Amino acid sequence: MQQKIKNTIALVGLLFFAFILKAQDEDNVNFTMAVSKDKLGINERLRVDFTMNKDGDNFTPPNFEGFQVVMGPGQSIRNSWVNGVRTFSKTFSYTIAPTERGKFTIGQATIVIDGKTYKSLTKSIEVTAAVDDPNAPPSADSIADDNLYLVAEVSKSNPYLNEAVTVVYKLYVGNINVTNFRPLDNPTYNNFWSQDMPVKQYTAQDGTYEGKPFRYVILKRVVLYPQKTGELELEPLSLDVSVEVPSSRRDFFGRPLYTSTNKTVSAGRRTINVKELPITGKPENFSGAVGDFDFSVTTSKTALNAAESLQTIVKVSGSGNLKLFQLPEPNLPSSLEVYEPEFEENVSTSLSGMQGSVSNNYTVIPSFKGKYPIPSISFTYFNPKTEKYNTINSNEILINVVEGPSSGSTVANTANTNKQSVVSTGDQFQFIKLNTSLVPLSNTYFFGSKSYWLWLLLPLLLIPMAILFGKKREAIASDVAGNKIKKANRLARKYLSAAKKTLGNKESFYVALEKALHNYLKAKLKIETSEFSKDKIIELLSQKTVDAITSEGFIALLKNCEMARYSPFSDVQMQEDYDRASDVIGAMDKQL
């Protein structure tokens, strides 16, 4: 009983599988028309093939208006088996000759397959004046010309200034084989900001060009942002292509023999008309951002103590010309010390343009206790989709400095110290006395007195002392290395005194250490705090011929000061950084 059930299930499954195959066969019926050429002279002949992949009945050809049938219909059938799969094709062939010049359309042919009627597509044929030798076979160059095209496809021909434009270069190939190609002339994209998108692998795809089926390969992709308005010209891409063209000769098995030739193809010059951004409604703070963006201003914390640091981040994210405009700057109170921002860029480029974010990270250190507002700032961009300017305003942020010196009390005390009371004595204005009380000088003479001999002999006593002092000074001056060490140690103690007092308190120590390093550079290199960045420091030290080891040690200390804000540091590490800072300042001062 169980065996019968299994047999029944197997039979049902087999019938179901056969039904699916039959349905697929019905859906995969192809009936096409192909012509030997779509342009010919009036004294030439044209071959037309109607091909089906399944046998049918009642084939009806078109009326061939504008042509007369010279030969046909010829019929050929082809069966082949590959890996157990049968391939069938049946072709009806006609040879026709044009009766007059002009443009003609070969109409649809019909065939009935499994009770259904299928129709072929139409073809347009152009008949020109008579050619010199209609019976001569076409040359390899002429065949290559008809089957090889290099096309530059431009996404937008009329963009706005700084709007993304994508150019894709495609090589279309017909009934020939491409064996190799090399670029002859690459476009330079003048007046554009360009981002090349390399093609990792050349993959052939099916497509159409001018209504005819072709295979194509994407050779080059580039994203452009126009930097100038008006008509901008794209220089053409030119290639030297090696191709194999089928000839009229056949080998022993009836396969066509191929002829090799080289062709130069060019994508042609393309013109892009770049529009100016609208003047109407253009805000004053517009900095050239074009796209669709979000804008924000954030801080790492809103409450802290004086001499501690916080991060203020001005960030723009979205899609558009992210690398081609400047971020707005925050308007911070003057009582906050602000360092040069660190620029961060997280941008990727695709065929639609740039996406991602750009930001400026400001390090801010308050010096006094109090509440400091970071006012709202605005960012304006132009959206080419809506053709409007959009302005985004950030939220106002209030920074609360909880502990620290009070700037108000210091000013008050200073003011009180400078004030002096004026007391009126009542006798500010007095008459000049007319009667004098002069006393005569003593009769004691200076010459021959003790004072006279003391001042006379004193220079003689000072000569040996001056000689001893000069020798000592000369010995000290000759010790160049010792003098440099002493001077460097004095400088290190001078700048690191505040940091030494805060050893054991991580945040206060590293804030004081960072200030000491910056103040030392400001004193030696004569630069302002706003000019500080690691790259700037390295460049300046290199110009002053400071060796790489000392320069790298200085930068490493600055990095430790930044990392200490977010990472735990032990007392031992703080002491090591203090000693290293003293050594670095000493070594740097010798070289500067």
Q: Which residue has the tokens 């979205």?
A: 318
Domain contains 406: no
The least confident of 98-102, 381-385, 454-458, 495-499 is: 495-499
Question: Is the same domain home to 105 and 144?
Answer: no
Name the residue with tokens 């070289």. Answer: 591
Q: Which amino acid is at 184?
A: L
Q: 7 falls in which pLDDT band (50, 70, 90)? A: low
189 and 262, same domain (yes or no): yes
The closest alpha carbon to 299, from 404, 406, 395, 405, belongs to 395
Q: Is residue 467, in this structure, part of any structural domain at all?
A: no
Q: Which of 221, 226, 235 is nearest to 158 (CA)?
A: 226
HSE value, Cβ hemisphere, 13 Å, CA-based, for 43: 8
Mean pLDDT of 22-42: 77
Q: Does residue 271 or residue 572 have the better pLDDT? A: 271
The CATH number assigned to the domain holding 53 equals: 2.60.40.740
Mean pLDDT of 377-382: 95
Burial grade of 519 (CB within 10 A; 0-12, 13-18, 19 or more): middle
Considering the domain boundaries, does residue 449 fall inside one? Answer: no
Residues 114 and 150 placed together within one structural domain of the fold: no
Q: Are residue 213 and residue 105 in the same domain, yes or no? A: no
Whether 81 shows a pLDDT value over 60: the answer reads: yes
Cα(352)–Cα(223) distance, rounded to whole angstroms? 8
For the domain that residue 541 is a member of, what is the CATH number? Answer: 1.20.120
CA atoms within 13 A on the CB side of 178: 25
Is residue 417 scored above 70 in pLDDT? no
| Cis amide linkage into residue 405, ω under 30° from 0 | no
Location of structure tokens 């795809």: 205
Q: Which of 241, 248, 220, 256 is nearest to 147 (CA)?
A: 241
Q: Do 123 and 148 belong together in one domain?
A: no
CB-CB contact of 351 with 197 (8 Å): yes
- Which is more confident, 414 or 272? 272
If you average pLDDT over residues 61-72, what whole number do you get?
Answer: 88
Residue-wise pLDDT tens digits, 138-190: 677 788 888 899 999 999 999 999 999 999 999 999 988 888 888 888 888 88
Query: What mean pLDDT do residues 299-305 have?
Result: 92
Residues 50 and 85 occupy one common structural domain = yes
Of 291, 317, 278, residue with least CA distance to 225: 291
Residue 389 has pLDDT above 90, yes or no: yes
562 within a domain of the structure (yes/no): yes
User: Residue 416: what pLDDT?
Assistant: 40
- Residue 13 maps to a domain: no
pLDDT score for 500: 77
Alpha carbons 151 and 154: distance in angstroms, whole number? 10
Domain boundary among 101, 128, 155: 128
Which residue, 321, 364, 320, is CA-closest to 342? Answer: 364
Do residues 365 and 490 both lie within one domain?
A: no
Please indicate whether residue 374 or residue 513 has the higher confidence score (pLDDT).
374
**Are 268 and 304 members of one domain?**
no
Asked if the model's pLDDT at residue 428 lies above 70, the reply is no
pLDDT of res. 425: 45
State how far the Cα of 486 lies from the Cα of 480, in Å rounded to an integer. 10
Q: Write down which residue in 348, 371, 401 finishes a domain.
A: 401
Separation CA 116–CA 49 (nearest Å): 21
Number of structural domains in the chain: 4
User: Of the ranges 107-121, 161-175, 468-482, which one carries the lowest mean pLDDT score?
Assistant: 468-482
Lowest-pLDDT choice from 130-144, 161-175, 437-451: 437-451
330 or 509, which is more confident? 330
Residues 79 and 34 in one domain: yes
Cis status, amide bond into 341, omega within 30 of 0: no
Residue 423 scores a pLDDT above 70: no
Does one domain contain both 81 and 194? no
347 in a structural domain: yes
Q: Which residues span the domain enclosing 341?
A: 293-401
CA neighbor of 316 nearest in space, from 343, 349, 280: 343
Domain assignment present for 511:
yes
Whether 51 and 94 share a structural domain: yes
Task: Please check the confidence at residue 436 and state whether its pLDDT lies above 80.
Answer: no
Last residue of a domain, one of 245, 274, 303: 274
Sort 440 into a burial class: Cβ within 10 Å, 0-12 / 13-18 / 19+.
exposed
Mean pLDDT of the chain: 81
Q: pLDDT (tens digit, 9 = 90+) per residue, 245-263?
A: 887 677 666 677 788 888 8
Domain identity same for 307 and 382: yes
Instruction: Compute the CA torsion angle 425, 426, 431, 436 (nearest 10 deg).
Output: -50
Establish if 452 belongs to a structural domain: no
